[in-house]
Structure 1
Amino acid sequence: MGSSSGSDWDPPPGSWASSAARRRNMQAIRSRDTAPERLIRRLVHAQGLRYRVAARPLPDLRRTADMVFRPSKVAVFIDGCYWHGCPEHYVPPKTNPSYWSGKVTRNMARDLDTDQRLRAAGWTVLRFWEHESPDDCALTIAATVSRLRNDGG
């Protein structure tokens, strides 16, 4: 009937999920089209700017930006406070802390590497935290893209 651990569900070997409920919760987390992303995109679109969504700024780099303005070479990232280690809001996990803290640390290192690679290729990188004002983010994005278009890139 039940498993030897006393629960009706045992995680697969090597699984990151500590329970069926945790697994469902983690699978439901969106990696794109989050509420902050959608709101900022709507505000930027209302200002007449057009962009690519979840696109690779550099074709040979297997990383995507949330918004990409190719002609002006602007890559925008809206980072989640937990997954990207926000200095204001990140709270270390209580469950499986070595795994999850390590994952966040790797995400932060990848973010830095992405920024360096894009800047080396002539891109402007804009990063915002999910808790920042969407209006302020949209204004910064629009001003940056407009300035770079007017400057000729």
Structure 2
Amino acid sequence: MPDNLTKKQRSKCMSNIRSKWTDQEKKIHSYLKANKIKHKMHPKLSGSPDLLLKETNIVVFLHGCFWHRCPKCYMEPKSNKEYWLPKIERNVKRDRKNVQLLKKQGFVVRKIWEHEVKKDLKKVVNKIIRFLP
């Protein structure tokens, strides 16, 4: 299926996509803060995890289902595959490398997918709480 947007419209749309403080990150941060769960968003660590549970060695990545090829709901792009497929493959390889690097540094690494946050935020926060020792 061809893209319904012009190149200019698509460029504007893509430029609005953020790597930090996504809607999911804002929601999780607010919920953790409201429940007095000590955490740090975007800690300055190798691999750039989205969340560090303070006073622990647990880091969390909040992965977008498209960008990180969610095993449950990823849908391959229908247009511009020659760009998107290698791009997403590079993201997945980088994710694996980042997880290995953080594990070597002694961190416990957890992933939460975008669809989980959209479906049930409270369940996701409870999942994060269960990560705590």
- TM-score using structure 1 length: 0.75
Shift of residue 111, structure 1, vs aligned partner: 0.8
Match of residue 136, structure 1, among 98, 123, 128: 123
Per-residue CA deviation, residues 88-110 of structure 1 (Å, 9 max, x unaligned), is 22222222212111111111111
Give the RMSD, CA atoms, in angstroms: 1.6
Q: Would you identify which runs of 4 or more consecutive aligned residues in structure 1 move more than 2 Å?
A: none
Larger radius of gyration: 1
Q: Where does residue 82 of structure 1 map in the other structure?
A: 66
| 1-structure distance, mates of 2:29, 2:37 | 9
User: What aligned pairs does 1:2-151 form with structure 2 within 5 A after superposition?
Assistant: 19-57=7-45, 61=46, 63-132=47-116, 133-145=120-132, 147=133
Cα distance, 1:70 vs structure 2: 4.5
Contact 2:68 2:91 in 1 (8 A): yes
CA distance in 2, matches of 1:92, 1:142: 32
Say which structure is richer in helix: 2
Return the structure number with greater relative CO, CA threshold 8 A, min gap 6. 2
Count of residues paired in the alignment: 125
SS at match of 1:33: coil
Unaligned runs of 5+ in 1: 1-17, 148-153
- Distance in structure 2 (CA, Å) of the matches to 1:137 and 1:120: 26
Q: Percent identity?
A: 30
1:110 aligned partner, one-letter code: R
TM-superposed deviation, 1:50: 2.1
CA contact (8 A) 1:52 1:68 kept: yes
How far apart in 1 are the matches of 2:81 and 2:13? 17
Secondary structure at the counterpart of residue 62 of structure 2: strand
- Segments of structure 2 that go 5 or more residues without pairing to the other structure are 1-5
Give the distance between the partners of 1:83 and 1:55, measured in 2 at CA.
21
